[in-house]
Amino acid sequence: MKYLFCAFILLLPFGNLRAQSRSIDPSIKTSRVVMDNFMDQRFGMFIHWGPVTLRGTEIGWSRGNAVPTQEYDTLYKEFNPVLFNADAWVKTAKDAGMKYLTITAKHHDGFCLWPTKVSNYNIMNSPYKKDIVGELARACKKYDVKFCIYFTVLDWHDPDYPIHMSGSKADTNANMDKFVITMKKELQELVTSYHPYMLWFDGNWESPWKNEYAAGIYTFLKKLDPNVIINNRLGANDAHLKLTAEMIGDFATPEQKIGELNMNTPWETCMTICNQWAWKPNDKMKTLKECIQTLAKTAGGNGNLLFNVGPMPDGRMEARQVERLKEMGEWLKTYGESIYGTKGGPFKPNEIFAATRKGDKLYVHVFEKTANTLTLPVLPNVKVKQAYLLKGGKINYSQGAGGAITLQLPEQLPDSNDSVIVLELTTNAEIIPVVS
């Protein structure tokens, strides 16, 4: 019955698509239970990959710029990543301590990494001829990593989408309603074939995309899977940093920066481990300190981190990126309890420290030792029972009448990137109001 409904929706006369509401029925929104589970994951892998890696330029954006459009659109005929190994990629994510993985099934260049029946511009018509999306979905299930899909609502390759290159004028011969029907068919394939935990939409800022389309797609997707999580880049806007009641989507998506401390609406920062989203030879890679402190400050702000790698044209991830992620995983083996399943706050992360909390424990992430003591912002009515390094070792502290907690730091912090001090409280740390 569900699929009959979907067939009907897909075949709605074009005109009806624009007649749809610009908002969604609140009763179909992703549940709090599902969103709380998503936010407990804290750390995921983002993967930007496609035939453009043959040129080492940015996916989508280099089409018609660094790479002439005609050349870009025929790269798939050379794309043969014979060293692609989905198990290796997913194990890399797992070993990094990542709990979910998001692949660019279709980026702005329109190339599809799965055997879609909707267009020939897909992986099955490359020399490689294997279902990349399906392989990753299988491997994620095998290693208990949640499988997620990135999907662009703009498609500079599809003639029915009016914009054929960023910044170009809308093509009056295009047919946006027909394009949205195509999109629904592609999304139906992806959701019914691979059952993604989350859909990471993107490209919602160009003029042809309207909230009427977005509301229809959100409703359509929720008929297919009521629990699929959807980010805030399906709704038509580029206000990615925030999530208001009017916006379509389940979480905000700050990009290349750590989101603001927010205890009310879910958010996930997406960030590159290098500079470019897709693979670039000799791209500058973040230090381990930058990687770990980004994760800790994101969790300290009550957000998730979707950390991006760009695999090479032969299908391998760069060894140095794999090593960096492994180092993050090693840190998480000791400190994971201060990241996974925690809440952020109660104070804003800064360059010296951040805080996360779970039950009666307040985790103080110390990034730098600038003095022999560290005084935390006053936490009214909070009493400390004991303090110790998560890695082991008692921490002496004093607590003033007003609630100011001063920690005596050890001569040498156990971890130069982020040493975590646990404060066991007499009350539930998660209910402490945020202090500025």
The phi and psi torsions of 374 (rounded to 5 degrees) equal: -130, 120
Minimum Å distance from CB 149 to ligand FHN? 13
Task: Please say whether the beta carbons of 187 and 151 come within 8 A.
Answer: yes
Task: Please say whether the beta carbons of 118 and 167 come within 8 A.
Answer: no
List of residues contacting ligand FHN (CB under 6 A): 59-61, 202, 255, 270, 277
Our measurement of the distance from residue 7's CA atom to the centroid of its chain's CA atoms, rounded to an integer in Å, reads: 30
Task: Please say whether the beta carbons of 197 and 146 come within 8 A.
Answer: yes
Between 59 and 382, whose beta carbon lies closer to ligand FHN?
59
The phi and psi torsions of 198 (rounded to 5 degrees) equal: -145, 145
Between 277 and 367, whose beta carbon lies closer to ligand FHN?
277
Distance, CA of 89 to CA of 136 (rounded, Å):
8
Between 270 and 274, whose beta carbon lies closer to ligand FHN?
270
Distance, CA of 208 to CA of 236 (rounded, Å):
9
- Considering only CA atoms, which of 352, 348, 393 is closest in space to residue 375? 352
- Considering only CA atoms, which of 299, 421, 435 is closest in space to residue 365? 421
Minimum Å distance from CB 380 to ligand FHN? 39
Between 166 and 193, whose beta carbon lies closer to ligand FHN?
166
Alpha helices in 144-287, H assignment, sequence order: 176-194, 211-224
Task: Please say whether the beta carbons of 200 and 249 come within 8 A.
Answer: no
Minimum Å distance from CB 255 to ligand FHN? 5
Minimum Å distance from CB 60 to ligand FHN? 5
The bridge status of strand 100-106 relative to strand 146-152 is parallel
- Considering only CA atoms, which of 371, 342, 370, 340 is closest in space to residue 357? 342
The phi and psi torsions of 255 (rounded to 5 degrees) equal: -125, 135
Minimum Å distance from CB 415 to ligand FHN? 30
Rounded to the nearest 5 degrees, what angle is found at the Cα of 225, between the Cα atoms of 220 and 227? 120
Minimum Å distance from CB 92 to ligand FHN? 19
Minimum Å distance from CB 48 to ligand FHN? 6
Minimum Å distance from CB 147 to ligand FHN? 18
Between 57 and 188, whose beta carbon lies closer to ligand FHN?
57
Between 231 and 417, whose beta carbon lies closer to ligand FHN?
231
Minimum Å distance from CB 233 to ligand FHN? 8
Q: Please give the residue whose beta carbon sits closest to ligand FHN in the complex.
A: 270
Minimum Å distance from CB 129 to ligand FHN? 25
- Considering only CA atoms, which of 385, 336, 340 is closest in space to residue 360? 385
Task: Please say whether the beta carbons of 128 and 82 come within 8 A.
Answer: yes
Q: Measuring CA to CA, how many Å separate 157 from each of 17, 179, 238, 252, 274?
A: 22, 11, 21, 27, 27
Between 214 and 413, whose beta carbon lies closer to ligand FHN?
214
Between 59 and 215, whose beta carbon lies closer to ligand FHN?
59
Distance, CA of 163 to CA of 165 (rounded, Å):
6
Between 151 and 179, whose beta carbon lies closer to ligand FHN?
151
Between 160 and 206, whose beta carbon lies closer to ligand FHN?
206
H/E stretch holding 271 reads: strand 268-272
Report residue 133 as tokens.
């999306």
